[in-house]
Chain A
Amino acid sequence: MWEALSEPFRHRQPKAKGSVNVVNQATAGAGKRPKPKAKDWKVTLKRMWHYLSHRKGRLILVLLMVLMSSALTLLGPYMIGRAIDHYLEGPGGTPWLLFLSGLAAVYLLNSLVSWLQNIWMIAIAQETVYRMRVDLFGHLHRLPIPFFAKRQRGELMSRMTNDIDNVSSTLNSSAIQVFSSILILVGTVIVMLLLSPLLTVLTFLVVPLMALGMKWITRRTGVLFKERQRNLGDLNGYIEETLSGQRIIKAFSQEERVIREFRERNERIKLSGFWAQTISGFIPKLMNGLNNLSFAVIAGVGGILAIRDVITVGVIVIFVEYARQFTRPLNDLANQWNTLLSAIAGAERVFEVLDEEVEAKDESSALSLQSIQGAVVFSRVSFSYDKGEETLSDISFEVQPGETVAIIGPTGAGKTSLIQLLSRFYEADSGTITVDGHDISSIKRESLRSHMAFVLQDSFLFEGTIRDNIRYGKLDATDEEVEAAAKLANAHSFIVRLSGGYDKVLHGDGSGISQGQKQLLAIARAILADPAILVLDEATSSIDTVTEIKIQEGLQRLMAGRTSFVIAHRLNTIRRADQILVLKDGCLLEMGSHDELLTKRGLYNDLYHGYGQLQ
């Protein structure tokens, strides 16, 4: 028994200021230390206010209601005190029934008003949270791609759900309570002063104690709440990753390992959660204790005063009740303070993402191109990820509208990076890339991309029907157009054989259709987009060669008349290209047509014959 009881005290005390040590902080980029200072809070609260202010009219209405219900809340006990002095103790009289009716009316109105204020506040709060969510989501879509390379999906998701949820629960109830607490507090103090200044001063003796206690507590909890939210984000990230990678875990029978690693994170969150909860749990207890203390003081001193006939018994009763009402809003404030702290911790994490710099904004002078020819020129382009070793160095080439360019080279040569520059996921460190003679950095990103269609290495499908997934290439496409594109991509035949055909719903895992079939759908999607520039990045790698030949014809037709970039390893895809770029270690070693390159007897020749060497 003693074992179990002494356990809560065995949790290691958190170290000073913001350093519940984070072992094995694998999440790159998430390691920014928090500095929960009052200044930050102010900024955070101000920004939350900005969201709330969308509903100013409603908010004012709620405020009025709070004002009313606070007044009514004060009126109730006062009337009871009056009742005791005048009717129970005193002479009483005829208006007793009238008086009670008045009290009943006050109570009824109070209930009605507090109901209304809550209902309206909930609407405001939920709308605010909705706005924050949508803003955050919209913002994520404006962040540069490298941002996502460094973050765990699940960690970001945690900000969208767990952190915003914290904000939500605070706004639902706390916001109102904070207002009404302050109002009631002020009102109570005024009435108390009127009734007995001496008792009021005595009641206030506990206030400095409260302030001291609160200071001690919040200094700790601010850090702990933030810590807890971060640990929760970390845990969320781990869960997301291991559930998405479940196939690998199952295949390697690594369940025990991930459970073990999960446990480490789970323990971290338990520790920070324990301290956050324990210490913030002190608040109501402290308030309660001080409340009781003032209760005792009022009873004692009030009793003596009553004996000396300085005050009446009714005043004591009123005071006892007011003292409770006076500490109850403080108590509420303290409790709300708690949720407020955790909400601020949540909101801060949300704003942290909102503060991430977006993809350098298109300059206001940026072009919006109606249509493009598809002439692409790279001149002396160099690029490196994270300012490290150059991934591409000094690349120059020219592509005429309508040409097909094959990009080949060993893995890691920089083929995909080249495409990423063209789509402006990343910006070149030096050199220029032009499309139809315009520097692409002077064209609006979305305008540029809308003239291109991509089939990326990982063919990603959304949860939804096959039809919707193909239609993603052109949202207003008719069913006929969708099917025509699917036929061209050679996907039609397998789609109609699925149960549900085009209306079959694909789920996250996409089980039921194979990787190759996914690629066929991705190609159909690009076909439907009908772009001026087509980019195929290993688009057919998982497709068998017989099927590939079948779609080759469709692809040829598709590539005719538009500029196409094709990354591939299969030579028969490459041979027909107008130009072949041979990349190695980020350098453009050779370029030219198939025949030209063979006569050069360089790397291309080697690669080409390497194909034969396997025999």
Chain B
Amino acid sequence: MKQIAFYLKKYRAAAIMAIFLMLVELTVELIQPLLISQIIDDGITLQNGSVVLLWSGILVGGTLIAFGAGILSSFYAAHASQSLGYDLREKLYGKVQSFTYAVFNRFATSSLITRLTNDVTQVQDTTFMGLRFMLRVPLVVIGSMIMALVVHAELGFLLLLTVPALFLFVVWIVKKAAILFKKVQQRLDTVNGVMQENMTGMRLIRVFVRREQEAARFARHSGELMQSSTSALRLTEITLPFIVLIMNAGIIAVLWFGHLEIRAGSATTGEVVAIVNYSLRTAGALSAMSMLVSAFSRARASAQRISEALATDSGQTDAAQTARKTGGISEGSVEFENVSFQYPNTDAPVLEDISFKVSPGQTVAILGATGSGKSSLMQLVLRLYEEDQGVIRIDGRDVRELDTLHLHDSIGYVPQEVLLFTGTIRDNIAWGLDNASLEQIMESAKSAQIHDTIEQLPNGYDTLLGQRGVNLSGGQKQRISIARALIRKPAILLLDDSTSALDVRTEAALLKALNDMSCTTFLITQKISSTLNADLILLLDDGHLIAQGNHEQLMENQSLYRRIFESQFGEEGSHVGSVK
């Protein structure tokens, strides 16, 4: 909550203005009963018509002032709250982007989405309401109290008695409700999560005919959400009847004692009427309370969730922050020295004691069984994760000393699963390089062997890709993602099994084009055919680097490599040889 207040500080001028204007409005309203009592006592009782007209004229004037102030305050309150919402979203999104990949994965995507939209909206709307109403309630109450005391001290005191009880009650409710609302938001996360999963896995659900099971699962989670919302709201709904009851008790007391005072001659009818009027006003203001209490409790829960994400350590190490602002990598040599790595929150290392050295421009093929650590090795070069032990050097410098931004500028990465964004093909390729020209885009598309396919599309490079580019085949999407990496003219190119959906011929053409680019290339592959020409082959098995060398060396003294070779060329190995 404090953190949110901190963000509001920036707009304190607007906020103060909104509150000030509201005060103007309020003052006018609070004076009204006083003026009424003037009209009754000085005007009606004394049979003086001009006094009545004078005071009612003042009432009209006040009304106009209040109206103007109200309209104006709308602008200021909207400005302050919308700007707050904007800043919160911006800060939160920026924060999420600053998370290291490991920290990022600690949050469920759906939870971050809820925080960025739903939670921020809650805070924002409550702020708006707060600037206009939330303060209004206590102010009306306090103002009415003071005025009541001014009008008649003893009777006003009766009204005053009800306040502490009400105050404690509201504080208690808000505290309790905030806990319940936090649960509501958490369950909203879950519902969101199921939703996201279903959207992503829609085809799978269809082909396995699991619609009903998914619907049941969703219904269960929505049901839980319904339950917690209901109980949170029910709690806050106690507020209104209770407050009104207390206030009404106060009114009865005022009537009772007012009656006595009038009899005793120590109070006038006008005074009692004014105080009853103030009590009714207070009750009226308080009737907005239950809505405010639930809004405020909910906003409090949301604010906590936002603060939680904002307060998360982004995981950037000091070394990275103080990294020398080195330029990009010029050569592209890569060296691993005794590197071990384990994913956070797992208990077995995925890579152990890996050492190898790659000279600039070399092609490295990484081979190994499923789950042997190939992709993990690539993620370390990319610095998506940090190695636990050992040193990785690029261009002879410890990567921890390199500025990530510059490092990534010199790396082209093609992930295993295709991730394209909503937008045109051109946008998606240009995504790899700021201000890429159409020539550059086409050039890299040509290298990625996708240019001809794109040209054949009705809108060419301006063809829109839907979510995950559904209308293109898997292989076509893969090649767009390769083009996106190539446009950076990287010093180091990382291909994580990115040619799996390509047919042999296209792949060969692609590899040839890559050969012409003078970058250091890491190639995770299943195909021996792609390793034949590699300068270095790394053979991984269960997290260990069991062999390195070129094709001939490995064929000679590595039985696993020979087995992989035979699995692909086995009986027709000789056949292929004879064609050669």
Taking CB as reference atom, which chain B residue is nearest A148? B202
Interface of B is mostly: helix
Within 8 A of B (CB), among A299-326: 299-301, 303-304, 306-307, 313, 316-317, 320-321, 324
With A148-B202, A517-B370, A607-B505 as contacts: A243 and B113 at CB distance below 8 Å: yes
With A289-B67, A320-B277 as contacts: A4 and B219 at CB distance below 8 Å: no
| B204 adjacent to chain A (CB < 8 Å) | yes
Within 8 A of B (CB), among A361-417: 385-386, 388-389, 408-417
Within 8 A of B (CB), among A1-50: 1, 4-5, 7-9, 11, 26-28
Taking CB as reference atom, which chain B residue is nearest A515? B416
Contact B371 A513 (CB under 8 A): yes
Q: How far is the CB of B492 from chain A (nearest CB, A)?
A: 11
Complex CA gap A338/B220 in Å reads 32
With A157-B199, A307-B52 as contacts: A412 and B93 at CB distance below 8 Å: no
The 8 A CB mask of B5-42 against A (1 = contact, 0 = none) is 00000010110010000000100110010011001100
Complex CA gap A541/B417 in Å reads 11
Partner of B526, one of A415, A457, A545: A545
Which residues on the A side are within 8 Å of B48 (C-beta)? Answer: 307
Contact B421 A241 (CB under 8 A): yes
| B226 adjacent to chain A (CB < 8 Å) | yes
Contact B371 A244 (CB under 8 A): no
Contact B237 A115 (CB under 8 A): yes
| B70 adjacent to chain A (CB < 8 Å) | yes
With A28-B422, A80-B251 as contacts: A307 and B369 at CB distance below 8 Å: no
| B284 adjacent to chain A (CB < 8 Å) | yes
| A216 adjacent to chain B (CB < 8 Å) | no
Q: How far is the CB of A421 from chain B (nearest CB, A)?
A: 13
Contact B431 A254 (CB under 8 A): yes
Residue tally, chain A, CB below 8 Å to B: 195
Taking CB as reference atom, which chain A residue is nearest B41? A313
The 8 A CB mask of B513-547 against A (1 = contact, 0 = none) is 00000000000001111101000000000000000
Taking CB as reference atom, which chain A residue is nearest B203? A456
Contact B199 A148 (CB under 8 A): yes
Residue tally, chain B, CB below 8 Å to A: 197
With A243-B112, A458-B417 as contacts: A303 and B215 at CB distance below 8 Å: no
Quick one: which of B52, B347, B580 has the most chain A CB within 10 A? B52
Contact A162 B117 (CB under 8 A): yes
Contact B44 A321 (CB under 8 A): no
Contact A262 B93 (CB under 8 A): yes
With A289-B66, A545-B567, A610-B505 as contacts: A245 and B79 at CB distance below 8 Å: no
Which residues on the B side are within 8 Å of A151 (C-beta)? Answer: 466-467
Contact A411 B479 (CB under 8 A): yes
Interface stretch of the complex, out of A55-63, A85-93, A192-200, A432-440: A85-93
| B56 adjacent to chain A (CB < 8 Å) | yes
Q: How far is the CB of B323 from chain A (nearest CB, A)?
A: 13
Q: How far is the CB of B247 from chain A (nearest CB, A)?
A: 9
| A590 adjacent to chain B (CB < 8 Å) | no
| B389 adjacent to chain A (CB < 8 Å) | no
Partner of B113, one of A89, A239, A412, A472: A239
Which residues on the A side are within 8 Å of B560 (C-beta)? Answer: 546
Interface stretch of the complex, out of A99-107, A183-191, A478-486, A557-565: A99-107
Which residues on the B side are within 8 Å of A614 (C-beta)? Answer: 504, 508, 529-530, 532
Contact B70 A262 (CB under 8 A): no
Partner of B49, one of A100, A259, A304: A304
With A259-B93, A282-B71, A499-B348 as contacts: A572 and B570 at CB distance below 8 Å: yes
Partner of A411, one of B197, B408, B419, B474: B474
Q: How far is the CB of A302 from chain B (nearest CB, A)?
A: 8
Partner of A107, one of B71, B249, B530: B249
Contact A456 B204 (CB under 8 A): yes
Contact A153 B408 (CB under 8 A): no
Partner of B13, one of A1, A111, A123, A507: A1
With A7-B14, A277-B78, A411-B503 as contacts: A137 and B215 at CB distance below 8 Å: yes
Which residues on the A side are within 8 Å of B527 (C-beta)? Answer: 545
Contact B101 A457 (CB under 8 A): no
| A288 adjacent to chain B (CB < 8 Å) | yes
| A615 adjacent to chain B (CB < 8 Å) | yes
With A251-B382, A296-B60 as contacts: A5 and B291 at CB distance below 8 Å: no
Complex CA gap A497/B343 in Å reads 15
Contact A157 B79 (CB under 8 A): no
Which residues on the A side are within 8 Å of B563 (C-beta)? Answer: 546
Contact B384 A544 (CB under 8 A): no
The 8 A CB mask of B87-125 against A (1 = contact, 0 = none) is 001100110111001001100110011101110010010
With A11-B79, A157-B196, A457-B474 as contacts: A288 and B70 at CB distance below 8 Å: yes
Contact B408 A253 (CB under 8 A): yes
Contact B226 A127 (CB under 8 A): yes
Partner of B118, one of A115, A138, A161: A161
Complex CA gap A249/B101 in Å reads 10
With A254-B431, A293-B63 as contacts: A278 and B78 at CB distance below 8 Å: yes
Complex CA gap A301/B277 in Å reads 19
Contact A520 B370 (CB under 8 A): yes
Contact B508 A569 (CB under 8 A): no
Partner of A511, one of B49, B226, B343, B472: B343
4 smallest beta-carbon distances between A and B, as pairs:
A411-B475, A300-B56, A285-B70, A516-B370
Given contacts A1-B13, A133-B218, A281-B128, 7 further A-B contacts (CB under 8 A): A5-B17, A160-B192, A242-B421, A257-B431, A259-B90, A509-B105, A614-B530
- 30 cross-chain CB contacts under 8 A: A4-B13, A5-B13, A11-B79, A28-B422, A137-B219, A140-B202, A150-B467, A157-B113, A162-B121, A235-B117, A243-B96, A245-B421, A251-B408, A262-B90, A277-B77, A277-B82, A284-B132, A285-B71, A304-B52, A307-B52, A386-B471, A410-B505, A514-B371, A516-B371, A545-B527, A546-B567, A547-B369, A570-B568, A572-B570, A611-B504
